[in-house]
Structure 1
Amino acid sequence: MRHRTVADLMAPMAVSVRRGTPFKEIARLLDEFDITAVPVVDEDERPVGVVSEADLLHRREAAGGAITAADIMTSPAITASPEWSVVRATRVMGRHSVKRLPVVDATGRLVGILSRSDLVQLFLRPDRSIREEIVEDVLTRTLQLAPSALSVEVDDGVVTLSGTVGRRMLIPVIVRLCHSVDGVVDVVDRLDYERDDMPIGSPTAREK
């Protein structure tokens, strides 16, 4: 079961500027390429900061000379690697309260940029594709259950599971794996079980 990574969603070869790029040139690039931020890179194409529309609006004038990217950028740049999972990238964005992440290769050089709008693509995945992955990859291939063992319904990314499994401990595993499928918004658990093998006091125990 392969999940999409940062490399799958990022915009490759992001527009970038240098520390000395003037204010007006940055504004022109944002407008020309219809983007909301641009990475600032050094001579080796390694990100050292990010300039966003908000940064431009907060610093229209500067005493003692023209404004450059170095004057207004947010630094250091919070970056991601192409092989990161989408979940990891989303958590880093949330932890640092940023809307985009410059993506760097193993040498630290800029290879793309990932924005929140790129992540939204995951939730536009068709319900039919989500259901097929759950039935074929999660239930059949990973858990080795018969395709007809459980009922899987998907409506606007919300997965509803119903049917009966042999062991109660299998239920939280199924739910967790379904949650990990790209495009899943929520999982409604209506599963029942034949044998209760859940340890007493387990935090995953459910009231029936």
Structure 2
Amino acid sequence: MEHRTVFEVMTHSVVTAAPTTSFKEIVRLFADHDISAVPVVDEDRRLLGVVSEADLLRATAELPDLEGRWAGVRLLSQERGVSDAETAAELMTAPAVAAQPGWNLVETARTMHRKEVKRLPVVDETGRLVGIVSRSDLLRPFLRNDTAIRDEIKHDVLAGTLRLAPDVLRVAVDDGVVTLTGRVDERADIPVIVRLCRSVDGVVALHESIDYAYDNLALDVEPPR
């Protein structure tokens, strides 16, 4: 049983900026490609940072960044009397939070939530940009139909991984919500079954009503001979 990775759902063709890309050029990239952020890369496509709409607005409004620091580059540019058309290198958030191609979707979603970002650049082991993954990319597996989800649970999880007989558990799937009913030998098997079924791509929630022959979680209970 295999689960999707970032590499499988990410966008492989990424709009990028160079460190010297100007403020206005970045705005044009956003408008032309209907995006709200661009990774900034060097000549070898190594990730240097990310420029977002928030970065541009913060610079123009002279607002503090997310850590409460003032946009020092802009203040310096004002003092020196230079143009307000700053570059990507001066505007970008760095170091950028990035994902690895082999990350699973749950790990990626947790990172996005923790870092409060809408998308993550994806880099290989050398730090080179290979793609970008967004929130909508992570939601794509939930487009799987109920039949595909049920078949994977029945054949790959229950019969394949857990080697349960076909009549042990019944599986119903309705709009991605899985219901498991039946009876197993050992109570300790139930959390394992639930965890593996819950991890199948496209599962929104899981409900179980599984009975057991004996409670092997209790220390004073002997399994039947």
Same fold (TM over 0.5): yes
Residue number in structure 2 paired with 1:90: 109
Residue number in structure 2 paired with 1:81: 100
Q: CA deviation at 1:8?
A: 0.3
With normalisation by structure 2, the TM-score equals 0.84
Q: CA deviation at 1:17?
A: 0.3
Residue number in structure 1 paired with 2:65: none
Which stretch shifts more, 82-91 or 167-176? 82-91
Task: Return the alpha-carbon distance in structure 2 between the equivalents of residues 88 and 179 of structure 1.
Answer: 15
Q: CA deviation at 1:122?
A: 1.7
Q: How many residues align?
A: 201
Amino acid at match of 1:94: H
With normalisation by structure 1, the TM-score equals 0.91
Residue number in structure 1 paired with 2:44: 44
SS in 1 for 2:60: coil
Q: CA deviation at 1:35?
A: 1.5
Q: CA deviation at 1:106?
A: 2.2
Residue number in structure 2 paired with 1:11: 11
Amino acid at match of 2:201: D
Q: CA deviation at 1:128?
A: 1.1
| Unpaired segments ≥5 residues, structure 2 | 62-73, 220-225
Q: CA deviation at 1:2?
A: 0.6
Matches within 5 A, 1:167-206: 167-199=186-218
Percent identity between the two aligned chains: 57
- Give CA-to-partner distance per residue, 1:19-45, whole Å, 9 cap, x none: 110111111111111112110112221
Runs of 4+ more than 3 Å apart: none
8 Å CA contact 1:13, 1:110 repeated in 2: no
What RMSD over aligned residues (CA atoms) do the two structures have, in Å?
1.6
Matches within 5 A, 1:24-173: 24-60=24-60, 62=74, 63=78, 64-65=82-83, 66-173=85-192
Task: Return the alpha-carbon distance in structure 1 between the equivalents of residues 52 and 214 of structure 2.
Answer: 56
Which stretch shifts more, 137-146 or 63-72? 63-72
Which stretch shifts more, 52-61 or 109-118? 52-61
Amino acid at match of 2:88: A
8 Å CA contact 1:40, 1:48 repeated in 2: yes
Residue number in structure 2 paired with 1:20: 20
Q: CA deviation at 1:143?
A: 0.5
Task: Return the alpha-carbon distance in structure 2 between the equivalents of residues 80 and 74 of structure 1.
Answer: 16
- Give CA-to-partner distance per residue, 1:114-138, whole Å, 9 cap, x none: 1111001122211111111100111
Task: Return the alpha-carbon distance in structure 2 between the equivalents of residues 165 and 189 of structure 1.
Answer: 12
Task: Return the alpha-carbon distance in structure 2 between the equivalents of residues 120 and 182 of structure 1.
Answer: 10
Which stretch shifts more, 26-35 or 134-143? 26-35
Task: Return the alpha-carbon distance in structure 2 between the equivalents of residues 146 and 31 of structure 1.
Answer: 56
Amino acid at match of 1:83: G
Q: CA deviation at 1:90?
A: 1.5
Q: CA deviation at 1:58?
A: 2.1
Task: Return the alpha-carbon distance in structure 1 between the equivalents of residues 56 and 147 of structure 2.
Answer: 43
